[in-house]
Amino acid sequence: MKHACAWLIALAFSTTQTLAEDHKIMTQDQKDVIGSIETMTQYFQAGDIARVMESYEEKATIVFEPDTPQPDTGEQVRLFTELSAINPTFDYVAGHEVVVNGDIAMHIAPWSMTGHTPDGQEIKQSGLSVAVLRKQSDGSWKMVIDNPHSGRLLNQ
């Protein structure tokens, strides 16, 4: 019995790693959610804020700073524009986890970011992103809630 439990734990762990690493066994919806997140990230890194905003539903809420959800689209554009000035480069350090239930999805991913202030000083940040997306009538996925600072709760 003891060996069976150890085997089940090892199997569960290896299956979890495989799911995260092998896009081939993910559903198409899971792949599409990851594609939406990665596309938004590419637009943000390129400073294309108009395209970044296309990744969100009209009344989305974004958490730019912990405990300060921002539902105002104009303010979101201003904050993304301000943040893009540091020329950020993002990395999803451990991959993505996506849970889909019908037309709702939750995306979870640890991230790291490097950028530079206007005077050349390097900025490094990291966190845990949790985003809720909704499948649109055209089959695309858009974010409804985006909180890249979810990991802060682990550090309290």
CATH number of the domain within which 135 lies: 3.10.450.50
Identify whether the C-beta of residue 109 lies closer than 8 Å to the C-beta of residue 95.
yes
136: pLDDT strictly greater than 70:
yes
Number of domains into which the chain is organized: 1
Residue 58 CA to residue 142 CA, distance in Å, equals 9
Q: What is the pLDDT of residue 23?
A: 54
Does residue 102 sit within a domain? Answer: yes
13: pLDDT strictly greater than 60:
no
Q: What is the pLDDT of residue 156?
A: 65
Does residue 14 sit within a domain? Answer: no
- What is the span of the domain harbouring residue 31? 27-155
What's the rounded mean pLDDT across residues 118-125?
94
Residue 9 CA to residue 2 CA, distance in Å, equals 11
Name the 3-class secondary structure at 156: coil
Q: Provide the whole-model pTM.
A: 0.82
Does residue 10 sit within a domain? Answer: no
Identify whether the C-beta of residue 142 lies closer than 8 Å to the C-beta of residue 132.
no
